[in-house]
Chain A
Amino acid sequence: MSHTSSTSDVLRNAGTTVASDASWALEKQFDRIIAEHSRAIWRLACSYEPVAGRREELMQDIALALWQALPHFRGECSERTFVFRIAHNRGLSHIWKRKPAHESIDKLPERDHPIDERPEPEEQAAQECRRVALMSAVRSLPVTYRQMILLMLEDLSHAEMAEIVGITERNVAVRLNRARKALKEALEGQS
């Protein structure tokens, strides 16, 4: 009897250890993914949501969706494809659920640090202006073009884009070409 109970205790302890090890490994993987892709996710959130407060909410939603989907990730695609697909899907859901904006849309990003903390402040300021103009032009694009432009700017291959958006590589090339033209027009329209 005591032998049976000690065996079941050992099995229970082993089960608990395996479960806690798996959850620890998952948390480590999540932390690593966030560390590697958080900048790209933030840029994506910026392009989907112009209002600063809601942008942070979208970032939180993307992180939550990643956390929930990570246990189901079976490595059928690259980790980057997985992250971008979830982030884009969450961005789409965000647009579908979006309420009309009551806050003013920020044309320039809020800064709590000086712009010239790096060398060549004039060049930095000029680049910041170009970045804001680019972001504004990207936001003005329809969602399917916006998705392609975002993926292109994040340096993803056509195959990865096709996997993320769910279209063929040939369609990616066509849509990307049109999206680039639309972006160029939007940028020219600003200047």
Chain B
Amino acid sequence: MTLDAELAAWREDWHSEVEPLPDVKRKIRQRQERAVAAAILTSTCVAISTIRAFRRPSPFISGLAVGLWFTTIFVGGCACCLRRGTWKQCARAGLAYAELSYRRAVAKARIIRLSFWVCLGTIVVLCIAFAWDWKHLTIGYGMILAALVAEAAVFRRCGRRKEREIAETKQQLDNLKDQLATGSEGLSLS
């Protein structure tokens, strides 16, 4: 068998698969819905707390509204700063893509870490506020506090997973760099 006939046979076998294809737009729809839901949820929380602060001004409610505005703007601004240099499209080749992946993973890990500490800070502030005046601790605010604790736990878990991803991406990046430097096909990328 000549090489070309061998290649032709491989190509014929390769293209012979007839497995049914999945719906490829599911994740795109999910991502769009999630982005809209997050925007609506954040806007609703900020709007309700602001309206309540204006209608029934009290130190607690005003503090909550200011805190929500501050957190939204601060975390959003920090996320934009941390993601600088990672906005590029992913249609890059080889080493450039590996470097971009590494920068993205590092930026995401920093955002998660920041969100965790902001969440923890908010919990501490709320606990101090409730300790100062227990009459504000209604079921609603108790649920908000519980949600914040759960969110902090989720951020912690995501942070650990992201650290593992950073280590893996760094290792692959170093492997790629070594391959390019030595010109070898050592290929430990499997």
A136 to chain B, nearest CB (A): 12
B160 to chain A, nearest CB (A): 13
Contact with B along A53-80 (1 / 0, CB 8 A): 0001001111111011100110000000
| Residues A166 and B93 in contact, CB atoms below 8 Å apart | yes
| Residues B24 and A34 in contact, CB atoms below 8 Å apart | yes
| Residues B24 and A85 in contact, CB atoms below 8 Å apart | no
Interface size on A, residues (CB 8 A): 57
Complex Cα gap A8–B98 (Å): 47
| Residues A96 and B13 in contact, CB atoms below 8 Å apart | no
| Residues B91 and A39 in contact, CB atoms below 8 Å apart | no
| Residues A127 and B169 in contact, CB atoms below 8 Å apart | no
Interface size on B, residues (CB 8 A): 42
| Residues B7 and A69 in contact, CB atoms below 8 Å apart | no
Residues of B within 8 Å of A175, CB to CB, are 185
Complex Cα gap A152–B6 (Å): 12
| Residues A142 and B13 in contact, CB atoms below 8 Å apart | no
Q: Which of B15-23, B73-81, B133-141 participates in binding chain A?
A: B15-23
Contact with B along A140-157 (1 / 0, CB 8 A): 011111000000110100
Complex Cα gap A155–B29 (Å): 32
B46 to chain A, nearest CB (A): 26
Task: Jot down 10 A-B pairs with beta carbons below 8 A, ordered by A.
Answer: A38-B21, A65-B90, A69-B91, A85-B91, A95-B189, A109-B17, A143-B187, A155-B11, A166-B94, A180-B3
